[in-house]
Every structure is written in structure tokens, then in C-alpha cells.
Chains A and B, each alone.
Chain A
């Protein structure tokens, strides 16, 4: 095998090595790298939760109620004696699962709606934009709460599908706005005229010629929406409208902490909040750097 690998490479040795895209990102966007590494940490926690966690996240142990952080319970325990560290590690599963599914679903739907709106223009564009305008006039959490109220709960594998729908919906108009703006600039280009002249169907032009050109804003929006989705899931769970017990979720860990725990067990309040903040921070940082790196023009 070694000969196969070395022989052809010798004849290309004089060519300058093409810089690896990831390496280039790491070098030009150090802050983005930091964000990426934090995200990676969460991903490792989510996938390896059963090996990383030191206790069963749902195991109740009244002998160890409200234990302070220490050798055995790194981040202490809650009022039921459940290990806070293990619950945070498992909570990254909930946060990432809900975050990824709703960010990707919301952005994909939004990109298609936005691309169609920008491509067809005229009345269709006007109608879609009015709906988008109206949806944007509701704060994210308000829209999500309405969905939760109307749909109720419907869970699959411990994750509430309607919660995902509630988080997805507010992302759609935001992505649609961005996708429409990008589409408008692409539609003006000659290759779209050429495609039209060649008699390609509208769906083919949108899917094959416009969609690949809005990949950059799409990726940026997915990263930014991840941050939003994690924050939203935590807020809804905190309010008791999202993930339900005993599933470990960061927002849920903060919920129902009465004033007594503030003084007797502050670790119950501090650590889950740090987990949320760090995750949101990492996705924001990564998204910002991705924007600077992929499309310097978008920099505002």
C-alpha cells in the first residue's frame, strides 16, 4: 500500500500544497476555532454520555441529597440526590438533539421558502414576505409558546416532537429573509437567464442552480439558529413547557429551584446555567467566524 501512496505524489511535489480548508479556518479564525472546540466537547459528551457520566442521571439517592461538589459528586447533587455532573452530560444530548433537528429543519424550510419567494418575485414574493413580516413581529419564545399550547405533547424517544416543532417555527421566517436576499442577487446573474432560456423547469433551477449558491448563508444561519434553539429549549424547559422530568435537560434542572436551594445548594443553579451559556456562546462564536470566513461581504 505504501508504494501506491508515494509513487503518484512524487510527480506533484513541485505543486504548492493546497491549504486544507479546516486548517485555514483554524488559522484565520482563532475565535471560531475556540467555538468549534467547545462544540466538539459537547458533541463528545452527547455521544459518550454513558462513559463520561459518573452516575446514572436519573438515579435518585436520598442518602446523598444536596451533596456539595467534591470528589464523588463533581458538581454536587440536587434535592433528589441526583448527580448534577451526570445530568449535565446527559443534558447535552437533549440540547444538541433538539437544537440540531430544529435548526436544520427550520433553516431548510426557510431556505426553500425564501428561495422560492426571491425566484418567483411579484405576487408570490409579496404574499410570502407579508407572512414572514407578521411572523417576525412575534418574539421567538412567544411564537414557540403558542405552538406548545396548541399542539400539546407528543413524544418520541423521550423527546417531545411538538417541542421541536415549536422551536423550528420561529427559525423559518428568519432564514427565509436571508435566503430571499441571497436569491435576489443570484437571480440577476446571467447563468439563471441561460438556464431559463434552455427551458429548465423552475424547480430544477431553484434546486440545482440557486440552492447551491445559498449554502454559505445557510450554514451560517444553521450555526446561529443552533444557539437560538438551545437557548429556547432551555427557556421552555425552565418554564415547564418543554422537556419533562425525568429526562435530563439543562433548563429543566434550573426549573423549580425554590429559594431554599439558592442558599443550601447554589451548585444546582450555577452549573446548568454555565452549560447553557457556554453552548450558546460557542455556537454564536462559531457562526460569526463562519460568516467572516465564508462570506466577508456579509460582515455587517
Chain B
């Protein structure tokens, strides 16, 4: 297990470097000029000198390779440049907004897992019954409802039922857990629904597949209790693909959060990203995209490790 872990960790480094390179070029090589877009955003006429001056100020007049070297040298020191809008270091801007977004994302993940595994199992066990059908309808709707609209419906429901809205503003959990949860639970539920839907579908189909395996039939033939078969043989194997989906979808959860944070007025990385995009603050955009891609890579690393732990065959191969 130790060597498996080390090997996996080393494999992450080239991927992260690749992501960093991709982000750099994505922003600079695409046709279009950020400076022009930024300055002419309101349709105002801007002189060529002003554009050149702004380029110089941002260090965009340097040759591409020089910019690239600066950028890559800065990365290991977490130097992502300064926000073009506030002038604060990008890492500080992101750091301020990270906790609330991460908390919501993790809560959504926990909600999804807590719902998906039992629901998917029940759905598979009572296949083609009314329970199964209703679970599937709920799951399919989860894929179609935009999370931001679900958030709006939740607000609408809270207002019309209780005439109450969650407070605006984030309080760290250890300061005031109740206020903290009353703010974060709603966006977590909005983005968690889709997550739960995807995981439920996967849990159902993977359990159905596992139940057809020979070793389940053998266990049945030996007269093992159904409950024991489920716990010891079926569920553990069925969980593998579900773990994969949960890992893959985590990044998309953050994508959903980008939009949903707007609905609940939460000042997290999603809102920061939207503001940065609207203002053409590309240093900030670069930092945020890098952060999100890194989270994706690390979550997938965690999934790989979990996989190795759940299924010894993978560790050995």
C-alpha cells in the first residue's frame, strides 16, 4: 500500500504541471485580447496608447516565454500574481473565499452519499417495483433541474412557507454552528441533488450488475442470508464504480456551485469567479481555474487511493 501511495503521488505532478501550462495558454493563446476586452467592455473608444500602457502595466508586453517562466517560477511559491481589480495578491483573494465554498461542496458531497447509497440499493433490490420507478424518476429529474433554479425554488419555498430567508454572510462553523449551517445547508442541497442523482443511478446499476455475478449465486446456493450477502459481497463490490463517479462529479459540483452561489448571495470562489470573468480580471481567473483543476486532480487521486483500499487487486497490478 505504501509504494502504491508513493507511485500515485508522483504521477500527480506531471498532470498538475500540464494543467498549469494549459491554463496559461488557454488564457493567452486564444484569439482575442484580454486588455482590449477589459478596456472596451463598455463600448468606449480607447486609444492605442492606453492599451499599450495597460499591457505594460500588466507585464503583457514581455515576450510570451518570459511571461511563462515568471508564471511557472511563481507557482511553487503560490505566487499567482495580483488581482487586476483590487490589487491584492490572487492567493489572498482566493483564500478569503475558499472556506465557505469548500464547506458547501463537502456538505453537498456528504448529503449525496448519504442519500445515494441507500436509495440506489433499495432501488436495485426492489427492481421494477413502484419504489424503483419513483427513485428513478427522482434521479432522472436531478439530472435535468439546473442547480441554480433549484436554489431559487428553495428560497421561494422558504419564503412562502416560513417567511424566512437565510442570513447573508458567512460565519465560520466553530464560531456559530447553527447560523453557519442555516446559511450553507440550502446551497449544499441545491448542488447536492444532481450529485445524489448521478450517484444513485450508478449505485443502482452497479449493484444490479454485481448481483448477477457467480460468487453471489454461490453464496446463495450455500444458504447465506441475503443480508449477509449484501453486506459482505455485493455492496462492497458495487461501491467501486460509485466511488469513481463521486470523484469525477466533484469537480462538476464546484462548477454547479459557481452558479448557485449567486442565487444565495454567498461570497465564495464561485462568486469571485463570476466577478472576475465579468471584469476581465484574468490573473484572478487564471488562479481560480488552476485551483479548480487542482482540486479535480487531487480528488481523483483520493479516489484512486480509495479504490486501492477497497479493491486489493488494483493495488497489486
A binds B: yes
List the interface of chain A (C-beta within 8 A of B).
Answer: 130-131, 133-135, 137-142, 145-152, 162, 227, 231, 234-235, 238-241, 254, 257, 259, 262-263, 266, 269-270, 273, 276-278, 280-281, 284-285, 300
- 15 more A-B residue pairs beyond the given contacts A149-B277, A259-B159, A281-B141, with a C-beta to C-beta distance below 8 A: A134-B293, A149-B276, A149-B280, A150-B26, A152-B37, A152-B41, A162-B32, A234-B146, A235-B148, A240-B278, A254-B148, A277-B141, A277-B146, A280-B143, A284-B140
Using A151-B30, A263-B159 as known contacts, say yes or no to A138 and B146 having CB atoms under 8 A apart: no
Could you tell me if B146 and A145 are in contact, using CB atoms closer than 8 angstroms? no
Could you tell me if A269 and B156 are in contact, using CB atoms closer than 8 angstroms? yes
Cβ of B183 under 8 Å from chain A: no
A interface: dominant SS: helix
CA distance A67 to B61 in the complex (A): 55
Could you tell me if A149 and B285 are in contact, using CB atoms closer than 8 angstroms? yes
**Shortest Cβ distance from A289 into chain B, in angstroms?**
12
The proximity string for B residues 277-305 relative to A, scoring 1 for CB distances below 8 Å and 0 otherwise, is: 11010100100110011001100000000
Could you tell me if A145 and B277 are in contact, using CB atoms closer than 8 angstroms? yes
CA distance A162 to B255 in the complex (A): 20
Which of chain B's residues have a CB closer than 8 A to the CB of A240? 274, 278
B interface: dominant SS: helix
**Shortest Cβ distance from A195 into chain B, in angstroms?**
35
Which of chain A's residues have a CB closer than 8 A to the CB of B278? 240-241
List the interface of chain B (C-beta within 8 A of A).
Answer: 15, 18-19, 22, 26-27, 30-32, 34, 36-37, 40-41, 140-141, 143-146, 148-149, 152-153, 155-156, 159-160, 165, 205, 251-252, 254-256, 258-259, 262, 273-274, 276-278, 280, 282, 285, 288-289, 292-293, 296-297
Q: Which residue of chain B is the closest to A279 with respect to CB atoms?
A: B144
Could you tell me if A137 and B293 are in contact, using CB atoms closer than 8 angstroms? yes
Which of chain A's residues have a CB closer than 8 A to the CB of B18? 130, 133-134
CA distance A269 to B160 in the complex (A): 13
Using A134-B18, A269-B153, A281-B144 as known contacts, say yes or no to A239 and B255 having CB atoms under 8 A apart: no
Sample (23) of A-B pairs whose CB atoms are under 8 Å apart: A137-B293, A137-B297, A138-B289, A139-B252, A139-B258, A140-B252, A142-B254, A145-B273, A145-B274, A145-B285, A147-B30, A150-B27, A151-B32, A152-B32, A235-B146, A238-B148, A239-B262, A240-B278, A257-B152, A262-B156, A269-B149, A270-B153, A277-B145
